[in-house]
Amino acid sequence: MLRAAATLLVVFHHAAITYGAQGGWFYQELAPGDAWSSRLLSFFCALNQAWFMGLFFLLAGYFTPPALARKGALGFLVARALRLGLPWLLFVGLLGPLTMALARTARGDSPLDALRWLAGHWVFEPGPLWFAQALMLAALGAALWHLLMGGRPLSDRSAAAFPSQRVLAAAALGTGLVAFGLRLVWPVGISVAGMQWGYFASYALLFVAGWAAAAPGWLQQPPADRVRRWRRVARWAVPVLPVVALSAGLLPGLQGRVEGGWSLPALVYALWEPLVAWGVLLGLLARVQRLSADIGPVWQALSRRAFAIYVIHPPVLVAVALAWATVPAPALLKFVLTGALACALCYGLAGALLRLPGVARVL
C-alpha cells in the first residue's frame, strides 16, 4: 500500500515539473519561474524528493536479506536482473525514445519526424528507471557481501532494539553532511549515467537501514516515541526551506544556490532533507500498519500494479499533457488534472500489461 501510494506521488511529481516546478523531465509546458504556482510546485517536488525515493530504497533493503537467504547470491542476482534489468532495457530501448519523440512534437515536429530524429540521435536516457540501475548496483553489492560473509546477513539479531533517538539524530546529521559534500561535486540537477549522485547519501543509508531492519522487523512497528519525536522534527523543519529560498539575496549569508556549493542555503537544504525524511517515513510506517489490514480491492490491485505504473508513466504523462497543451488554464489546475488522468490511465494500462503471458514475472 505504501509503495503504491508513493508510486502515484511519483506521477504527480513529474506532472509538477511539467507545469513549472524545478527539475528535469522530458516535457515542460511551463519553465520554472517566479510565479507563485511555480514556487508552490517546486516546493511540492522538494518535499517529495526528501523522502519518497528514499522510501523505495528502504523497502528494497528490507526485502534483500530474505531474498538472499532463499535464493543464494547467484539466484538473487538472476532474479534482480529479470525484475530490474528487463524493465530498464525496455525503457532505454523503447519507452524512453518514445517519450522523447512525444516531447519533440511540442516543438512542431510530426511524430514521424521526431522518431526519425531520434533514430539518428540516440541518447542514453534511463528516465525514472535510474532507480532500477541503482538497485542493480545495490543488488550486486548485497550479493558480494553474501558471498564474502558466507551467507551471514548484515544483521541477524532478531531481538535488536530499534535505533535510539541519538542514533537517528546522528544518522540525519551525517546524511546531511555527506549530501552537502556530494553536492560540491554533483549539485542537484547534475546527472552522471542517469543518476543524481547528490541525493545518494540518503538512498545508500536507507537501503542499508532497511537491510538491517529486516531481521528484527523494525519497519513493522516503529516505536511510538520515535514516531512522535521525528514527526515533530519534520513539522518544524518543513517551513525552513521555503523561508531560506524566499530570503535568498535579501539577508546576509543567504547568497548562493540550494542545489550545491559552498553556501549556507546548500547546507540548509542538505540537512533539511533527512530531518524531514525521518519524520515522514516513520510516520508513514506507523500509519500503514494500522491501515494495512483494511485495504480494499482497489488498493490491492494498485499495489500489484505499482512497478508497472512506475515504468510506463513517462510516455503516458507526456501524452496527456500534450493533449491539452493549447488549452488555457491555470498551471495548478493543469497539474492536478493531468496527474490524476495519467494515474488513471497508467492503472488501466498496467492491469492490461500484467495479463499478458510472462509480463507479471517482470513487472
Is the predicted pLDDT of residue 315 greater than 80, yes or no?
yes
Is residue 30 within 8 Å of residue 329, measured between CB atoms?
A: no
Please state which of the ranges 36-50, 142-156, 271-285, 335-349 shows the lowest mean pLDDT: 142-156
Is the predicted pLDDT of residue 282 greater than 90, yes or no?
yes
Quick one: CA dihedral 312, 199, 62, 289, positive or negative?
A: negative
pLDDT, mean of residues 66-83: 93
Band of residue 10 on the pLDDT scale cut at 50, 70, 90: very high
Spell out the residues 6+ positions from residue 296 whose beta carbon is closer than 8 angstroms to its own: none
Angle (CA) 262-196-132 rounded to 5° is 160
Mean residue pLDDT across the chain: 90
Angle (CA) 39-262-273 rounded to 5° is 50
The pTM assigned to this predicted structure is 0.93
Is the predicted pLDDT of residue 234 greater than 70, yes or no?
yes
